[in-house]
């Protein structure tokens, strides 16, 4: 083949690649695994392996593109969810506890507010209450993440009649139906469909407000809806497609973080499994649509999770699949039927108490005070940690860098190391003005 022909072919191929790379996404799906540091995705890979079988890559491994720093706007280096979510939502650093504002309390425009102003449909899907720190940072402005009622009020917009989000799915009826204010009625007056049962997702239309619990949704572990985030996401994507209009959707696996704070590895893997199913669903959707960018990351890592401890070179993640309910539920069962100690533990954890562990549980069960259910739950978690060689360094957050995952048009912008603010800035930069009537 002549040199000139080869050069022409190479130029043609490069041109095709450049065109694909330059394509702007119509839709953006931003996923956040709250508290999901690198140890969590590693643990999930081993958790999904067979006891003695090969270890296979997971969806997280397939989509990994980079790492991100998470430090807040101070010298502590350890962020909370509010500061990190504000960085991801707005591209600006702030102090721990701040929602959508900088250190001088100036309001910061977010990915969702910018998208809404340019004509996009916008939405959030979370497993926490919808006014929790991460979703709030995309939709509200407040000096403290703890001002839940004020943040909920802010969801209606500064004038009380112009919500930033067209779709809100998660928990939070305690904050939206209050003695002083029934925000659900106000949303309904603005034309929003209101759902309070998962079954209603089958008829989901936009705009919509779905609140499925007083605060956060029930944990995935032992739930009737273990993949509730994936199910809500599937319903959201179907409804968004019916709009025939570009959209930006933020999805948060909120409770990975809660499990990390509780140092509960079985809880964490159940939440990771729900998030993995959600990621697979979104990837398949992106592959089919070809006009949608998905980016995922974590806001920080929680708990200082370690796989292996006591100097033992081992981690028995697959054993966690035998844990069928939350440790708190096991503790309650033990409190109600202390004489059935061995059977309850074996049935719900797959573990057998050792000669050292049995008397510790028996001593705790002698306490007539109902408050010792928490102590029993701690014993159950410790039992599981010892059996799997799971370690924790803190009940709070740590300063570990977190992963970035991306797929779809412009995914290459999210490769390598970057600060979390760069993720927010890049996403906002990809927004395009939507012509009226589109």
- pLDDT for 370: 67
- Res 376 pLDDT > 70: yes
Distances (CA, A) of 157 to 79, 148, 160, 163: 27, 15, 5, 5
- pLDDT for 116: 97
Q: Taking residues 46-58, what's their average pLDDT?
A: 87
Q: Taking residues 128-148, what's their average pLDDT?
A: 98
- pLDDT for 160: 87
User: Does the annotation mark 81 as catalytic?
Assistant: yes
Q: What is the pLDDT of residues 84-116, one digit of tens each?
A: 999 999 999 999 999 999 999 999 999 999 999
Mean of per-residue pLDDT scores for the chain: 94
Q: Taking residues 399-420, what's their average pLDDT?
A: 98
Per DSSP, the chain holds a count of helices (H) and strands (E) of 17, 16
Give the class (CATH, top level) of 23-305+394-429: alpha beta
Among 4, 21, 81, 438, the active-site one is: 81
- pLDDT for 23: 87
Per the model's pLDDT, the better-predicted residue between 368 and 242 turns out to be 242
- pLDDT for 235: 98
Q: What is the pLDDT of residues 246-292, one digit of tens each?
A: 999 999 999 999 999 999 999 999 999 999 999 999 999 999 999 99
Q: With cut-offs at 50, 70 and 90, classify the pLDDT of residue 50.
A: confident
Q: With cut-offs at 50, 70 and 90, classify the pLDDT of residue 20.
A: very low
Q: Taking residues 371-384, what's their average pLDDT?
A: 93
- pLDDT for 437: 63
What whole-number distance in Å separates Cα of residue 136 and Cα of residue 400? 23
- Res 367 pLDDT > 60: yes
**CB distance 170 to 127 below 8 Å:** yes
DSSP string across 62-98: HHEEEEEE---SSSS----HHHHHHHHHHS----TT-
- Res 18 pLDDT > 50: no
What whole-number distance in Å separates Cα of residue 289 and Cα of residue 244? 12
pTM of the model: 0.94
Q: Which of 34, 70, 80, 111 is nearest to 275 (CA)?
A: 34
- Res 239 pLDDT > 90: yes
- pLDDT for 195: 98
Percent of the chain with pLDDT over 90: 89
Cis peptide preceding 207, ω within 30 of 0: yes
Q: Taking residues 329-357, what's their average pLDDT?
A: 96
Q: With cut-offs at 50, 70 and 90, classify the pLDDT of residue 10.
A: very low
Q: Taking residues 198-215, what's their average pLDDT?
A: 97
Q: With cut-offs at 50, 70 and 90, classify the pLDDT of residue 244.
A: confident
Say which CATH architecture domain 317-391 belongs to: Orthogonal Bundle (1.10)
- pLDDT for 255: 98
- Res 7 pLDDT > 60: no
The domain spans of the chain are: 23-305+394-429, 317-391
- Res 212 pLDDT > 50: yes
- pLDDT for 13: 46
């Amino acid at each position: 083949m002549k040199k000139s022909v080869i050069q022409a072919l190479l130029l043609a191929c490069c041109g095709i690649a450049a065109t694909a790379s330059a394509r702007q996404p119509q839709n953006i799906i931003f996923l956040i695994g709250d508290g999901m540091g690198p140890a969590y995705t590693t643990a999930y890979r081993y958790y999904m392996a067979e006891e003695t079988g090969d270890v296979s890559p997971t969806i997280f491994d397939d989509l990994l593109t980079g790492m991100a720093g998470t430090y807040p706007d101070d010298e502590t280096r350890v962020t909370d969810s509010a500061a990190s979510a504000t960085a991801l939502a707005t591209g600006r650093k702030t102090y721990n506890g701040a929602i959508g504002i900088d250190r001088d309390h100036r309001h910061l425009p977010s990915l969702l507010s910018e998208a809404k102003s340019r004509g996009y449909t916008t939405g959030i899907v979370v497993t926490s209450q919808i006014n929790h720190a991460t979703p709030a940072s995309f939709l509200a402005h407040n000096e403290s993440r703890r001002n839940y009622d004020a943040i909920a009020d802010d969801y209606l917009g500064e004038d009380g009649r112009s919500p930033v989000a067209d779709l809100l799915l998660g928990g939070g009826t305690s904050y939206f139906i209050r003695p002083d204010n029934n925000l659900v009625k106000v949303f309904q007056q603005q034309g929003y469909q209101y759902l309070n049962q998962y079954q209603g997702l089958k008829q989901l239309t936009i705009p919509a407000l779905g609140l499925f619990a007083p605060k956060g949704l029930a944990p995935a572990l032992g739930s009737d809806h273990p993949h509730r985030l994936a199910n809500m996401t599937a319903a959201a994507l179907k409804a968004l497609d019916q709009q025939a209009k570009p959209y930006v959707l933020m999805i948060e696996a909120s409770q990975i973080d809660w499990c990390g704070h509780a140092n509960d590895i079985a809880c964490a893997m159940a939440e990771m499994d729900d998030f993995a199913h959600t990621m697979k669903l979104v990837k398949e959707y992106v592959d089919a649509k070809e006009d949608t960018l998905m980016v995922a990351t974590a806001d920080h890592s929680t708990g200082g999770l370690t796989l292996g401890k006591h100097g033992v070179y081992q981690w028995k993640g697959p054993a966690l699949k035998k844990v069928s309910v939350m440790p708190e539920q096991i503790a309650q069962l033990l409190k109600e039927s202390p004489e059935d100690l061995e059977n309850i533990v074996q049935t719900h954890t797959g573990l057998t108490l050792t000669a050292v562990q049995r008397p510790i549980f028996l001593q705790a069960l002698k306490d007539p005070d109902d408050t010792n259910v928490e102590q029993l739950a701690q014993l159950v978690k410790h039992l599981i940690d010892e059996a799997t060689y799971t370690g924790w360094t803190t009940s709070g957050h740590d300063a570990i860098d977190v992963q970035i995952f991306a797929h779809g048009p412009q995914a290459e912008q999210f490769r390598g190391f970057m600060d979390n603010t760069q993720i927010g800035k890049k996403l906002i930069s990809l927004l395009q003005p939507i012509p009226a009537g589109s």
